[in-house]
Structure 1
Amino acid sequence: MDPQLLSIHYSDPLWIAIAFLCGLIIKMLGLPPLIGFLAAGFILNVLGAEGGEFLNAMADLGITLLLFSVGLKLKLKALVRPEVWGVASLHMTIVTLLVGAMILLLSYSSIPLLSGLDLESALLIGFAMSFSSTVFAVKILDELGAANAKNGQIAIGVLVVQDIAAVVFIALSMGKLPSPWALALLALIPLRFLLYQLLNRVGHGELLILFGITLALLGADIFELVGIKEDVGALVLGMLIANHPKSNELSKALLGFKELFLVGFFLSVGMTAMPGWVEILIALLLILFLPLKVALYFGLFNLFSLRSSTSWRTSLNLANYSEFGLIVGAIAASTGWLSNEWLAVFAIVLTFSFILSAHLVNIRDSLYHLWRPKLKRFERPRRLLGEENLDLGYIKVVVFGMGRMGTAAYNAMHCDYEGHLVGVEIDQDKTLRHRASGLNVVSGDATNPDFWTRVPELLDGLEWVLLTLPTHKANMNAALRLKEMGYLGNIAATAKYPDEEDDLKAIGVEHTFNIYKEAGLGFANEIQTFVVQK
C-alpha cells in the first residue's frame, strides 16, 4: 500500500452522505445496505463525479481489513480439503472454458466489443468471470453469522484458492515475478510466537484495535515490497494468529472499521466507468451465465459429498462475479489485450451480480424448501464430518450456539437436565473443544433446513430451545426453522436491543434475554446478595 498524505476533498463528505441515504433506503426495502452503496456509486458516476485519493485509500483499507479478518477465521487445514481445492480448481477451469467458448463464438458476430476477439482474449474474459467476490461473500457471511458454518468455511476456502490463482495470474501477466526476498517471508512462521505475546499484552480496548490495523497494514506492505499482492499479505498475517484465543475478539473489534471503510470500495465500484448501451448489453449477457455458474458449484460440491443443503448454501455464497474482473480489465486495457470499454462491462457485471446475489441469499432457504425433492437427488450417500446423522431422541433441552452465553446457559441447566441436554455449535473446532471438556455438544447449523433431517427424533420430546447464535439474523432464521418444523415447545433467544426483542416475539419466541440489560440486573443481584451476607 503506497504511503500517501491524505486530504479530504470538499466533495467527499457529500458522497458519503449520498451513500448513507441510498444504504438506508435499500435497508428499508429489506436488502443489504451495500446494494445502496453500489447504487450511490452509479448515481455519482452519472452526475460526472470521480473517485479521489481519499475514496481510493478508504476502499484499499477496507479490503485490507476484510482479508485480514478472513485470515483470522481461516484455518490452514481448511484449504487442503478436497471439497475446497478440488471444487475451486475444477470450477475455475470449466467456467473459463465455457465462457471463453461463448465469447469466441460471439466474436464471429457483428456485436461491438465482441466482434473479432481472438482465442486468448476470450479465455482471458472467461478466466475473469470464473471468480467469485471475496469482499461480498465474506460481508454477507458476517451479517448472517455463518462465517464459521460448514458452508461459510468452504466458501471462504474456495475464495482463498481463487485469490491465490489471481495472484499468480497478475504476476505472470505483468511480467513481475516475486523478488527472491519473498523466501524471507518464511521467517514469519517462527515470528508468530512474538505476535502471540504482543496479542496477550494489548488488552481489550483501543490497543487491540490498533494492533489489528497495524498488523494488517504491515502484512500488506511487506508482501508488496517482495512483489506479492498486498491483499495476500493481510490474509496471511491474519492466518498466522488465527489459532490465538483472542483472534475472535480481535475480529469483532475490527468489524465496525472494516464495514466503514468498505463503503469506499462499493462506492468506487459504481464510479469505475461510465457504461454505454453496448457495455450494458454485453454485461447482461454475462449475467445470464450466472445461473450456470451457480449450478456448476452445486454439482461439484455434491460430487465431493456435501449435503444438498450445504451445497446449495455454499453455492449461493459464491453466486456473484468478482472485483478481480476489474483488475483483469485494467491489466488487459493497459497491455492492449482488451479495449478500455471492457472495464465498464466488468463494473456493470460485478454490480448486477452483487444485487442479484444479495436478493438470492435472503430467499435461499425458501427456494431450497420449494426445490428440495429435486435438489436432494444430487446428494451422494457418503457423509462428511459434521454432516452425519445424529441420534438425539433423548434430548429435552437444546442450546444453539455454544459461545460464552450458550456455554453459560448449558452449565446453568446441566443439573436439572443431566443426560437430556445438548449443545449445537456451528464451529466444528469449537465443538471438539467442548467435547474434550466433557460437554455434550454436536456440530450443526440451526438455520440450515437440513439440520432437522440429521436429527429426525429431536423434536419428539423437546421442551426447551435456547438460541444464543452470534447474530440477530441467525437467531431469527433458527426460530423460523423451528416453527416450520412444527415445534410447539418453549423458545428463548438472546438479543442486544429492544427492537431485536420485538422482532423475535413477533415470530413466536416466548422468552427473550437482553444481554446488556440482564447483565446489569445480574450484577446488581450479585451485589445485593453480597451485602445481605455481610
Structure 2
Amino acid sequence: MIEPVLVGVAFLAGLAFRRVGMPPLLGYLLAGFLAGGLQLGDADVINVLSDVGIILLLFTIGLKLNVRELLAPQIWATASLHTIIVVPLTSLMLMGLVLLMPGIGGMDTTVALTLAFALSFSSTVFAVKIFDERGEGSALHAKIAIGILIVQDIFAVSYLVLSADRAPSPWAFALLGLPLLRPLLVFLLKQAGHGELLVLFGIAVALGSAELFEMVHLKAGLGALLFGILLSGVDKSVELYKSLINFKDIFLTAFFLSIGYTGLPSGDMLLVALVIASLIIIRPLIYFGLLLMFRLRARTSLLVGLSLFNYSEFGLIVAAMAVKGGQLPEVWLTTLAVAMALSLFIAVPFNTHVHSLYARLATRLQKMERSELLVQERPVDLGEAEIVIFGMGRIGSGAYDYLSQHYPDKIVGVEESADKALKLRLAGISCVPGDASDRDFLERAELHRRKMVLVSLTNHSENVDVVKLLQQLNYKGNIAVVSRFSDQQEELISMGCITFNLYAEAGHGFAERVMEEMV
C-alpha cells in the first residue's frame, strides 16, 4: 500500500513549486528523494504505478500519432544525427572523467559507449508534460519534438531487444498481423460510449497490449504505443485521449517519485552526476543547429531543442540492464538517476520561460534561418478579416458560425494544428494554420487591421499569455477570451478583456437557444 504520508508530501511539494511558477513535477522529484531517504511507502508499488504511467503515456501518444510524420527528415534525420554526434562526445567525456577522478574506477570503451547511448535520449514524460501544461500539444514544434522522441524510443527498444538475455519469442512474428485487429478495436471503441466504459476500454487496451508484448519478450511500452497507433485517426480516438489524460498524469506522478527511490550516490560519483547533468547545456544547441539545417524557423528550433533539454527514463533502463549483465558497477545506476533528476531541474526554468526567452533573442536567432523555409513554416495571410478567432475547437468553431451570420467574409480562424486547419478549409471555413503564442506570427498578422480578437485556446494560462503578447504588441482592438472559473474571469477582466465564463453562462446560452427555436 502507498503511504498516505507519501501522497501528502508529493501534493505539498508539487503545490509549493506551482505557487512559485514552476511545474509540480519538480516537487514530485524532491518528494521522491525524500521518500527514498526516509523509506516512506513501498518502492515496489511505486515502480509498478510508474510503469503503468509510462504505458498510458505511450498509448496516448500513439492515439495522436501520424506515422507519416515520423518519415519527415526533420524528425528521423534529426534524431539519428543527434545520436551520432552526442554518443561519441559523451563517451570521450566519461573516459576523461575516469582519468581525472581515479576514485570512480576504470572504464573501457564499451562501458563508456553504453553510458553515452543511455544519456543520448530525452525524456518523453517531461516533454509531453510540458506541452500539456502550456496547451501546445497540437503545435508544430510539439509534433516534431514528440516525433524525435518516438524515434529515440525505437532506438532504445531496439537496443534492449538486441542486448536482452532472451531473444524475442518466435510468436513475436505473429504481431506483424496486428493491423488486422484495427477494425475490431475501432468497433469496440465506438461501442464504449462516453462514460466509464470508454476509460475502461482505453486502460484495458493499453495494459493488455503491454502484457501481450511482454509475453513475446518485447518491451511493454512498444506494445502500448503500437496499439495506440492502431486506434488513431478516428474521431472517437480524440475523446478517448481526453478521457485518459487525468489517469495518465496521476500515474506519471509515481514515475517522478520513483526516481528518488534509487538513492543518492556518494563522494566522487555525486560529482560525476553533477558534471553529467551540466552537459545537457550542449544538447539544445545541437538540436537547434540541426533543425535550422532542415529549414525550420528559429522559434520552432528553439522550442523543440529546449523541450528535449534533459535525460530520459530510458537511460535508467539501459543502465539497469548493463548492471544486470555485469557490464556496469551498480553505483552508475544511482549516478544516472541523480543526473537525470538534475537535468530536469535545469530544463524546467528554460521551458517555463521559453517564450519570453525567444522574444529577447528573436532578432539574432532569425538571422540564422535558412532563406527557404519548410512549407509549414512559411507566413500565412489573414486576408481582409476584421475578426480573428484563435483556437478552432468546439467553442471557437461555434463562435465562427454565429459571427459569420452577422459579419460574412470578415472572420478568419487560426488553428495550431495544420491538419485540422486544412479540414476546416475543405469544409468551407476560412481558417489558417498558426500559433497564437508565436510572436513572429502575430507580428506578421497586421493586427492594426483587426477590430477584434477572440481567444479560445486549450487552457487558461495559454489564453493569458496570448493576451499579454497582444498587449505587448500594442494591439488596440477588443480582446475577448473564454474562461471556465470565476478567478480566471476576474483575472481576464482586470487585463481589460471581454470574457465569457463557460460554466457560469452556459445556462443562459442554453435558454437563449431554446427561445430562438420557439420563435
TM-score (norm 2): 0.97
SS in 2 for 1:392: coil
Question: What is the count of residue pairs matched by the alignment?
Answer: 519
Q: In the aligned structure 1, how far is the partner of 2:167 from the partner of 2:368? A: 43
Alpha-carbon displacement from aligned partner over 1:256-305 (angstroms, at most 9, x marks no partner): 11111111111111111232232221111112211111100111011111
Q: State the alpha-carbon separation in 2 of the partners of residues 323 and 199 from structure 1.
A: 31
Q: Which residue of 2 aligns with 1:524?
A: 511
Offset, 1:503: 3.0
Match for residue 395 of structure 1? 385
Q: 1:63 aligns with which of 36, 42, 54?
A: 54
User: How many Å separate the matches in 1 of 2:69 and 2:474?
Assistant: 36
Residues 264, 338 of structure 2: 8 Å contact kept: no
Deviation at 1:78, TM superposition (A): 1.1
Give the aligned partner of residue 37 of structure 2.
46
- CA deviations on 1:395-420 (whole Å, 9 max, x unpaired) are 21111111111111111111333222
Question: Which of 453, 462, 468 lines up with 1:465 in the alignment?
Answer: 453
Secondary structure of residue in 2 paired with 1:414 = helix
Equivalent residue for 1:91? Answer: 82
3-state SS of 1:198 partner: helix
- Say whether 1:495 aligns with 2:486: no
Question: What displacement does 1:157 show?
Answer: 0.3
Number of the residue aligned with 2:166: 176
1:377-526 matched pairs, under 5 angstroms: 377-453=367-443, 456-506=444-494, 508-526=495-513
Measured in 2, the distance between the counterparts of 1:153 and 1:509 equals 33
Alpha-carbon distance in structure 2 between the residues aligned to 1:110 and 1:320: 24
Taking the aligned partners of 2:247 and 2:279, their CA distance within structure 1 comes to: 35
Paired position in structure 1 for 2:276: 286
- 1:520–1:228 distance in 2 versus 1, CA, 3 Å: same
Match of 2:306 in 1: 316
After TM superposition, give the deviation of residue 509 of structure 1 in Å: 4.5
The yes-or-no answer on 1:344 pairing with 2:331 is no
Structure 1 residue 359 corresponds to structure 2 residue 359: no
After superposition, the C-alpha distances for 1:361-391 in whole angstroms (9 at most, x for unaligned) are 1111111111222211221122223211122
- Return the offset for 1:143: 1.3
8 A Cα contact 2:43 2:261, kept in partner: no
Pick aligned residue for 2:234 from 230, 239, 244: 244
Inter-partner Cα distance in structure 2 for 1:504 and 1:230: 45
Alignment of 1:218-229 (within 5 A): 218-229=208-219
Q: Report if aligned partners of 1:51, 1:268 keep a CA contact under 8 Å in 2.
A: no
CA distance in 2, matches of 1:413, 1:525: 16
Contact 1:23 1:35 in 2 (8 A): yes
- Could you tell me which residue of structure 1 aligns to residue 245 of structure 2? 255
Q: 1:112 to 1:498 in 2, by over 3 A?
A: farther
Alignment correspondent of 2:225 = 235
Alignment partners' CA distance in 2, 1:471 and 1:386:
24
Preserved contact between residue 459 and residue 487 of structure 1 (Cα < 8 Å):
yes
* 1:439-493 CA distance string (max 9 Å, x none): 111111111222235xx25312111111111122221222122112111111111
Amino acid at match of 1:60: D
2:181 counterpart of 1:191:
yes
| Deviates further, 469-478 or 402-411 | 469-478
User: Unmatched 5+ residue regions in structure 2?
Assistant: none
Question: Which residue of structure 2 aligns with residue 14 of structure 1?
Answer: 5
Could you tell me how far 1:178 is from its partner in structure 2? 2.1
Q: Which runs of 5+ in 1 are unaligned?
A: 1-7
Question: Which amino acid counterpart does residue 19 of structure 1 have in structure 2?
Answer: A
- Partner letter of residue 493 of structure 2? K
The answer to whether residue 287 in structure 2 is matched with residue 297 in structure 1 is yes
**Inter-partner Cα distance in structure 2 for 1:530 and 1:371:** 54
Give secondary structure in 1 for the equivalent of 2:286.
helix
Asked if 1:326 is matched to 2:310, the reply is no
Contact 1:23 1:34 (C-alpha < 8 Å) held by counterparts: yes
**Distance (Å, rounded) in 2 between the aligned partners of 1:337 and 1:47:** 30
- Paired residue for 1:5? none
Alignment correspondent of 1:151: 141
Q: CA RMSD in A?
A: 1.6
Question: How much has 1:35 moved relative to structure 2?
Answer: 0.7
Q: For residue 36 of structure 1, what is the aligned residue in structure 2?
A: 27
> Which has more helix, going by share of residues?
2
Q: Distance in 2 between matches of 1:503 and 1:37?
A: 28
CA contact (8 A) 1:465 1:491 kept: yes
Shift of 1:422: 0.9
Q: Distance in 1 between matches of 2:449 and 2:516?
A: 37
Instruction: Answer whether contact 2:259 2:341 (CA < 8 A) is retained.
Output: yes
Q: Secondary structure at the match of 1:116?
A: coil
